[in-house]
Amino acid sequence: MKRAVSLLMTMSLLLLGGCSGSDGTQGPAGPVGPSMPVIQSLWATGLPAAPGGSVTVGVDAQSADDSALVYAWSVSDGFELVSGSGTEQLTLTPVWFVSGRVEVTVSDGQGGAATGAVSVSARDGNWGWAGTIESSVNHAYAPQVAMDGGGNGLAVWMQHDGTADSIYASRFE
């Protein structure tokens, strides 16, 4: 009898030890809160834009839940929008010789958004007035300027955007 009680107690301990105290139900299905869209790449072609030329800027983005995305673009002074407002791709033409940024905010309509920016530039082929080559309010530093024998010039500098240091350039051909 002693042996039967001991065996019964051992089996009870084994059964209770394997019990986690859970009733087997799980929490809510899916992610909690809004999921953010992800910008996988942001690109520009046709740089620097020549007089009468154009620049194409595009973004590759996706939402975590395959919801439709909305694109809001901001274009620097010196460029005009030709087509693509509200889409994944813009076509711009330069109004004058300029360097600037094109920014995009991609939102999913559920509170999630991602923002990115790409540098764009234009050239006019002629020397122009002295002026700013960067329109940001952040401080530029470590500028370097070079020219080749053909009169082509290049200015390069670093700038902090609040998150990271970036290298910028403005070119004259």
Residue found by looking up tokens 């439709």 in the block: 68
Which tens digit of pLDDT belongs to each residue from 132-157? 556 666 677 888 888 877 677 888 88
Pick the CATH number of 38-172 from 3.30.70.260, 3.90.470.20, 2.60.40.10, 3.40.50.720: 2.60.40.10
The dihedral built from the CA positions of residue 24, 29, 32 and 35, taken in this order, carries a sign that is positive
pLDDT given at position 113: 92
What contacts 154, CB < 8 A, 6 or more positions away? 145, 146, 147, 169, 170, 171, 172
Radius of gyration of the chain (CA): 29
Which tens digit of pLDDT belongs to each residue from 65-109? 888 999 999 998 888 899 998 899 999 998 877 788 899 999 998
Q: Which residue has the higher pLDDT, 165 or 31?
A: 165
Token pair recorded at residue 171: 């070119």
How far is the C-alpha of 51 from the C-alpha of 47, rounded, in Å?
Answer: 11
pLDDT band with cut points at 50, 70 and 90 for residue 171: confident
